[in-house]
Amino acid sequence: FERLRTKLFIPLENIAPMLFLTATCTRCIRYHFEKLIGVTITHSHWPSVREMTNRKVTLDVKYTTQPLHYVTIQLLHILKPSEDNGLPQKVIIYSNSQKSIIEFTEKVELFLDSDSTLQHLDAVIIHGKMNKLEKGRYINYFIHPRVEEDMNIRLMCATSGVGNAGIDSSQVRCVIRTDFPPTQLDIIQELGRTGRNHDASFENYSYNIYISIEQFIYVYERIHDPREKILDEKYRKEQVDDLMEVAKLLGSTSRCYFEEIETLLGNPASDLSAVGRCNNCP
């Protein structure tokens, strides 16, 4: 990589002005950016925890080996015509792998087809093996429907690697994750896909995570799978560390999830008290 970097990046003077902007940043991202580019950031504006706060959404974590049961209950609540109360009626469902998201989408579509009031609704799938044009086209179908048929696309089912950032729509009312999140950044990105309108409130918008020990073990074993193209053992260790941080976050029964997330993003620690937006709040 060192040889490649000398070809990719033009040598700079010892002191050269550079501007690095990002919507989501952590100390880990900053560290890797400095190592990758070969620079040291000397001045930065890092918003306080209060500035980074987003508490317009309820964050609900549930242990289950049958997430489909809970997902169908949510879909009925959000998509039923009788629930047309002026609130958005679109849902994003995330999973870790192409295989799991395709299988889960097929089950959801069977559920929609079995209900006379929902059978006209459709879902789109986005995963990493699609090319850029396909992904963009399906995202536009979901976010910016232009013809009547597209109006019926109320669900987007995606793998987290390609669908948890940049989908900014005020029409998304609920985000659901059916697999164990590999990193806290996945949680942060997915949480940010809903509640994106100014009058959003935690009573009406939610981010739901369904976890199980089996899912955790699957992600852990995938990281250590020798067939995975991970040549750097340090990177493998970072993946394990990220996974364990998620396990500690979601396994906690006392600390507010939002306080944990705000501490990760903010500097240096949360100065806000728990306010009843997650499982652990009073």
Of the three residues 16, 34, 49, the one that is the final residue of a domain is: 49
pLDDT of residue 200: 79
The answer, yes or no, to whether residue 64 has pLDDT greater than 80, is yes
Q: List pLDDT tens digits, range 239-281.
A: 999 999 999 888 887 778 887 777 776 554 455 565 666 777 7
Does residue 32 sit in the same domain as residue 135?
no
Higher pLDDT, 271 or 93: 93
pLDDT of residue 57: 87
- Note down the domain range covering 20: 2-49
Does residue 15 sit in the same domain as residue 77?
no
* Res. 3 pLDDT band, cuts 50 70 90: low
Q: List pLDDT tens digits, range 82-91.
A: 666 788 889 9
Question: What DSSP letter does each residue of the chain carry, written as one string?
Answer: -HHHHHHHS----SS-------SS--HHHHHHHHHHHT----------HHHH---SSEEEEEE-S-HHHHHHHHHHHHH-GGG-SSS--EEEEEESSHHHHHHHHHHHHHHHHTSTTTTT-EEEEE-TTS-HHHHHHHHHHHHS--SGGGGGEEEEEEEHHHHSSS---TTEEEEEE-S--SSHHHHHHHHTTS--STT--TTT-EEEEEE-HHHHHHHHHHHT-TTS----HHHHHHHHHHHHHHHHHHH-SSS-HHHHHHHHHSSS---S---S-BTT--
Does residue 121 sit in the same domain as residue 92?
yes
Answer yes or no: is 216 within a domain.
yes
pLDDT of residue 203: 84
pLDDT of residue 51: 65
Of the three residues 227, 243, 267, the one that is the final residue of a domain is: 227
The answer, yes or no, to whether residue 68 has pLDDT greater than 90, is yes
Does residue 94 sit in the same domain as residue 146?
yes
Answer yes or no: is 253 within a domain.
no
pTM for the full model?
Answer: 0.81
Answer yes or no: is 243 within a domain.
no
Q: What is the CATH number of the domain that holds 177?
A: 3.40.50.300
Does residue 151 sit in the same domain as residue 125?
yes
Of the three residues 208, 227, 246, the one that is the final residue of a domain is: 227
Q: Round the average pLDDT of the chain to a whole number and report it.
A: 82
Q: List pLDDT tens digits, range 22-37.
A: 766 777 777 878 887 7
Among 110-114, 197-201, 215-219, the range scoring the smallest mean pLDDT is 197-201
Answer yes or no: is 39 within a domain.
yes
Answer yes or no: is 68 within a domain.
yes
Does residue 45 sit in the same domain as residue 113?
no
Answer yes or no: is 130 within a domain.
yes
Over residues 215-228, the mean pLDDT reads 86
* Res. 236 pLDDT band, cuts 50 70 90: confident
pLDDT of residue 238: 87
Does residue 89 sit in the same domain as residue 128?
yes
Domain count, the chain: 2
pLDDT of residue 181: 94
pLDDT of residue 231: 63
